[in-house]
Amino acid sequence: MKSIQLTIPTTGSRLGASRTAANSRKRTKPRYSVVSMFSGIGGLDLGLEGGFEFRGSKYKSQPFEVIAAYEKDEKCVATVRHNLEIPMIERALSPDDVSSLPSADVLIGGFPCQDFSSCGPKRGLSSERGNLYRVMVNYMREHQPLIVCAENVPHLARMHGGQVLETIKKDFAEAGYKVQVWDLYAPDYGVPQNRRRLFFICTHEDLIGEPEKPKAAFANNHRSTKWAIEDLRHNGHASIPNQDQFFKASKAKRGNGQGDETCRADEPSYTIRANAKSRVQFHYAEKRRLTVRECARLQTFPDSFLFPHSPTTSIMQIGNAVPPVLAHAVGSSIARFLGKIHEQ
């Protein structure tokens, strides 16, 4: 078992023996190493590390450092390398190859959600892709991180009467972890978009306590679509990156399929989906669909985060991402927990 150079109080079993030497050292403000799986374009990574601005608010740097991030999609890898200073590795992960990955204090990952989504094939755990969460489980068994944060769609909790959720929780727990499931509604945390996500927060069983679910600071004051993107109406396309990219498709002549909705100005937007063209909502005031930059704003990516690909690719990447502002709230809670146990 690895020896982590932190003063961590434990219940005295699996982690305690390996950290006896560390406990005698002078306490310093720690930083926590992070391995990121299924990283996409790094929304979870950016939010966890912090140190970015969004719509005039600063999201402070947090005591995390991504030491390795893994993503199989070469275009996502290119987007991350264009924007973030993290070691990004193009690699398809499997449950059998975790021993070659570096050990870290924290493991994060948005394991593939397509087979759990209400808009997807709903194959759940019956597909190879639906079982990729086991990569994280095997990493937990092998490397014993302090905390694991795994993200997915809320429909997962409803599949097969809740059996899929219970299976995943059981597998995480049997790796040696206490498991919480946080059902977070993104507008409650400052994201101007009607989006809900599950976060599996797994705490090593030898640690005392668990992170607390972040407080819903915006529960009674949701940020609106207009708040997020109104200023873009009055800027020339050349002055804001990706603001000139949008689909010119009109509304469907029949029916009201997903993506034909018009965003309400004074409410959070509809969910930005990982689908291009017909799945992109219409602007509340302009006679067009939302631009790539507007979608990125509604997902809380800073304007400095650039999307170097086509609108089709960029919208898919944005829709699949974890909103950095939401990830920052989750990361803050984990950082507070680790800070408290370090100080004890």
For residue 269, list its beta bridge partners.
193
At 7 the pLDDT is 43
Q: Are 322 and 44 in contact (CB under 8 A)?
A: yes
What's the pLDDT tens digit per position in 274-308?
876 667 899 999 988 999 999 999 999 999 999 99
Over 272-301, what HEC string results?
CCCCCHHHCCECCCCCCECCHHHHHHHCCC
Which phi and psi (to 5°) does residue 115 adopt? Answer: -85, 0
Amino acid at 146: L
CA–CA separation, 187 vs 241, rounded Å? 25
What's the pLDDT tens digit per position in 26-56?
356 789 999 999 999 999 999 999 999 999 9
Cβ-proximal residues to 89 (8 Å cutoff; 6+ apart), any chain:
68, 69, 70, 71, 77
At 236 the pLDDT is 57
Which phi and psi (to 5°) does residue 71 adopt? Answer: -155, 135
**Taking all residues of the chain, what is their mean pLDDT, rounded to a whole number?**
86
Q: Which residue has the tokens 């079982």?
A: 131
Tell whether the model's pLDDT for residue 122 goes beyond 50.
no
Look up residue 266 and give its two tokens.
Answer: 């004074």
For residue 341, list its beta bridge partners.
none
DSSP 60-106: ---SEEEEEEEE--HHHHHHHHHH--S-EEE----TT-GGGSPP-SE
At 257 the pLDDT is 58
At 80 the pLDDT is 98
At 258 the pLDDT is 63
At 256 the pLDDT is 55
Look up residue 135 and give its two tokens.
Answer: 């990569």
At 250 the pLDDT is 78
> What is the mean predicted confidence (pLDDT) over 74-99?
95
Sorting pLDDT into bands at 50, 70 and 90, what band is 131? confident
Amino acid at 306: L
At 116 the pLDDT is 42
Q: What is the reported pTM?
A: 0.89
